[in-house]
Amino acid sequence: MSQNENTTTTTDEGGTDPQTDDEKLISTDVTTGEESARAAATSRTMVEARGVDVYYGDLQALDDVSLEIPEGKVTAMIGPSGCGKSTFLRCINRMNDLVDSARVEGDLLLKGKNVYDDDVDPVALRRQVGMVFQEPNPFPKSIYDNVAYGRRIQGLEGDMDEEVEKALRRAALWDEVNDQLDKSGLDLSGGQQQRLCIARAIAVDPEVILMDEPASALDPIATSKIEDLIEELAEDYTVVIVTHNMQQAARISDQTAVFLTGGELVEFDDTQKIFENPEHDRVEDYITGKFG
Ligand SMILES: Nc1ncnc2c1ncn2[C@@H]1O[C@H](COP(=O)(O)OP(=O)(O)OP(=O)(O)O)[C@@H](O)[C@H]1O
Ligand SMILES: [Mg+2]
């Protein structure tokens, strides 16, 4: 099944469909034999940043960031506190629009289309690019209504019961909640709440899921469930995850971007390469815990 079949584009510009017009095959930046087998040679770019600067008033939070995030993979963003990881994530679905002082320069492309173009509707964009936050934040509604919410406000077609079940199954929560869908989402455990938020995000058939430290408020067992889930989600979605946990990045991501102080993207490569043999001493120092 292709989720793209159900996904509207961010623009109706000229009736074009970025799905077909902006298809762009790139070689993934993979150097080792084992990794290249896994990466199966080519992958489409889902998100591309070109020379992105972000300012909050006078403070520069991102400095000339360029990278290409491949489709259908898990891309991790790591780096010390304040280096701009969340800021970068929020550029992708224009959450920074909601911050008055924020100013974004450069190009941020989703399947080749600049998300900052005038004809892009940020609400439609956020349907294509869903987000999961550090603290689970279910609505004070039933489990069912949490998952159905996005589809209802977007007026999406389909049997709602089926869609809710599908999203809860994909979020690995169905077996735990299927006999209590009327219960408040707030009455679930923290780990269940986070999986509910993931179900809510995927219920509208996004293409990209942004996760900002999604497991940092959870205990080890709940964390490991979320990690397993993220790996499964990458079969259907492009996942971009911010984490402070190096082992987590190493375990679950295909690519890792290392940001360092000043909002600089210092290195972006295959995760194994970043953790075993980074190009930059500063990255090695960060990864081995010499600073940050
Ligand atoms: N809404 C805001 N208004 C003003 N400055 C902000 C805002 N959000 C972030 N900043 C600043 O931008 C810089 C980057 O912040 P950001 O939250 O992106 O960092 P981060 O890498 O996600 O950090 P952490 O690991 O602590 O979450 C920091 O200096 C921060 O203080
Ligand atoms: Mg952050």
Counting from 1 in the atom list of ligand 1, the atom nearest the Cα of 80 is 25
Counting from 1 in the atom list of ligand 1, the atom nearest the Cα of 86 is 22
Q: Can you tell me which residue has the tokens 């290409």?
A: 68
Nearest CA to ligand 1 atom 12: 61
Nearest CA to ligand 1 atom 25: 81
- Residue from 186, 198, 270, 273 nearest 236 by CA: 198
Nearest CA to ligand 1 atom 6: 56
Distance 113 CA to ligand 2 centre (A): 26
Distance 84 CA to ligand 2 centre (A): 7
pTM of the model: 0.85
Does the CA dihedral 149-150-151-152 come out positive or negative? Answer: positive
Q: Ligand 1 test: best mutation among 55, 59, 100, most atoms within 8 Å of CB?
A: 59
For residue 101, the SS3 value is: coil
Please say whether the beta carbons of 124 and 162 come within 8 A. no
Quote the pLDDT of residue 266: 97
Please provide the distance, in angstroms rounded to a whole number, between the alpha carbons at the two ends of the chain: 43
Q: Can you tell me which residue has the tokens 């891309």?
A: 75
Distance 36 CA to ligand 1 centre (A): 35
Does the CA dihedral 145-150-153-158 come out positive or negative? Answer: negative
Q: Pick the ligand that lies closest to the CA of residue 78.
A: 1
Angle at 136 between CA 73 and CA 101, to 5 degrees: 80
Tell me the residue type at 65.
Answer: V
Distance 8 CA to ligand 2 centre (A): 29
Listed in sequence order, the DSSP H helices in 43-177 are 85-92, 122-128, 143-154, 160-170, 174-177
Per-state percent for the chain, helix, strand, coil, to nearest 5: 40, 25, 35
Backbone angles phi, psi at 103, to 5 degrees: -135, 125
Q: What residue ranges define each of the domains in the chain, with the CATH number in brackets?
A: 25-287 (3.40.50.300)
Q: Ligand 1 test: best mutation among 77, 87, 99, most atoms within 8 Å of CB?
A: 87
Tell me the residue type at 176.
Answer: E
CA distance 174 to 229: 13
Q: Pick the ligand that lies closest to the CA of residue 212.
A: 2
HEC-encoded secondary structure of 225-284: HHHHHHHHHCCCCEEEEECCCHHHHHHHCCEEEEEECCCEEEEEEEHHHHHHCCCCHHHH
Nearest CA to ligand 1 atom 18: 84
Nearest CA to ligand 1 atom 2: 56
Distance 250 CA to ligand 2 centre (A): 19
Q: Which residues of the chain have pLDDT under 70?
A: 1-42, 291-292
CA distance 171 to 230: 9
Half-sphere exposure of 251 (CA within 13 A, CB side): 15
